[in-house]
Amino acid sequence: MARDLAIDLGTANTLVYMKGKGIVLNEPTVIAVNRKTSEVLATGHEAWNMIGRTPGYIVAVRPLRGGAITDFDITERMIRLLLQRVGVSRFTRPKVVICVPSAITEVERRAVTDAARRAGASDAHLIEQPMAAAIGAELPIDEPVGNMVIDIGGGTSETAVISLGGIVALEAIRVGSFDIDAAIQTYVRREHGIAIGERTAEDIKIQIGTASPMPGERGAQVRGRDLVTGLPKNINLTAEEVRFAIDEVVTSIVQSVTRCLSKVPPEMAQDFLQRGMYLVGGGGLLRGLAQRIERETCVPVRMSPMPLEAVVLGAGHCIENYQVLRSMFMSTRR
Amino acid sequence: MIAIQGAVFIFTVLAIACGGALGTVLFRERRKTGIYDGIENFRRHIEALSPEARRNVVPRNVNSNDPTDNR
Domains and CATH numbers, chain A: 5-131+310-328 (3.30.420.40), 140-175+246-303 (3.30.420.40), 177-245 (3.90.640.10)
Tell me, what's the pLDDT at A243?
96
**HSE value, Cβ hemisphere, 13 Å, CA-based, for A130:** 32
Mean pLDDT on A56-69: 84
A interface test, pick of B46, B49, B52 with most A CB neighbours within 10 Å: B49
Q: Is residue A331 exposed (0-12), middle (13-18) or buried (19+ Cβ within 10 Å)?
A: exposed
Looking at residue A163, its pLDDT comes to 93
pLDDT band at B23; cut points 50, 70, 90: confident
- The pLDDT of residue B70: 38
What is the Cα–Cα distance from B46 to A111, expressed in whole angstroms? 31
Which of A16, A142, A306 minimises the CB distance to B46? A142
pLDDT of B65 > 50? The answer is no
Quote the percentage of chain A above a pLDDT of 70: 98
Q: ipTM exceeding 0.85?
A: no
User: What digits encode the pLDDT tens for the residues A100-136?
Assistant: 988 888 888 888 898 888 888 888 999 999 999 999 9
pLDDT of residue B44: 87
DSSP per-residue string spanning B31-63: HSPPTTHHHHHHHHHHHHTSHHHHTTTGGG---
Residues in chain A within 8 Å Cβ distance of B37: none
Q: Does the pLDDT at position A64 exceed 80?
A: yes
Q: How many CB atoms lie within 10 A of CB B21?
A: 10
pLDDT of residue B58: 57
Q: B45, A23: Cβ pair inside 8 Å? A: no
Phi-psi sector, A87: left (phi>0), alpha (psi -120 to 50), beta = left
pLDDT in tens, A7-47: 998 889 999 999 988 999 999 999 998 988 888 898 889 89
**A152-166, A268-282, B5-19: lowest mean pLDDT where?**
B5-19
Q: What is the pLDDT of residue B31?
A: 63
**How sure is the predictor about A160, in pLDDT bands with cuts at 50, 70 and 90?**
very high
A257-314: pLDDT as tens digits: 999 999 999 888 888 888 899 999 999 999 999 999 999 999 999 998 889 999 999 9
Query: Closest by alpha carbon to A302, among A131, A137, A102, A158?
Result: A137
Give the amino acid at A237: L
- pLDDT, one tens digit per residue, over A181-239 is 999 999 999 999 999 998 899 999 999 999 999 998 889 999 999 999 999 999 999 99
Q: CB atoms < 10 A from the CB of A189, how many?
A: 14
Please check the confidence at residue B57 and state whether its pLDDT lies above 80: no
Q: What is the mean pLDDT of residues B33-61?
A: 76
Compute the radius of gyration of chain A from its Cα atoms: 20
Q: Rounded CA gap, B54 and A93, in Å?
A: 26
Per CB distance under 8 Å, which residues of A are interface residues toward B?
3, 16, 18, 20-26, 85-87, 135-136, 138, 140-142, 164-165, 306, 309, 313, 316-317, 320-321, 324-325, 327
B-chain residues near A136 (CB < 8 A): 58
Place A62 in a pLDDT band, splitting at 50, 70 and 90: confident
Q: Sheet harboring A13-18: ordered strands across?
A: A22-28, A13-18, A5-9, A95-100, A123-128
pLDDT of res. A71: 81
| CA pair distance A177, A156, nearest whole angstrom | 8
| B42 phi/psi in degrees, rounded to 5 | -65, -40
Beta sheet of A232-237, edge-to-edge order: A194-195, A220-226, A232-237
In degrees, rounded to 5, the angle at the alpha carbon of residue A151 between the alpha carbons of residues A207 and A42 is 65
Sign of CA dihedral A224, A228, A230, A233: negative
pLDDT score of A260: 95
Candidate from A73-87, A137-151, A257-271 with smallest mean pLDDT: A73-87
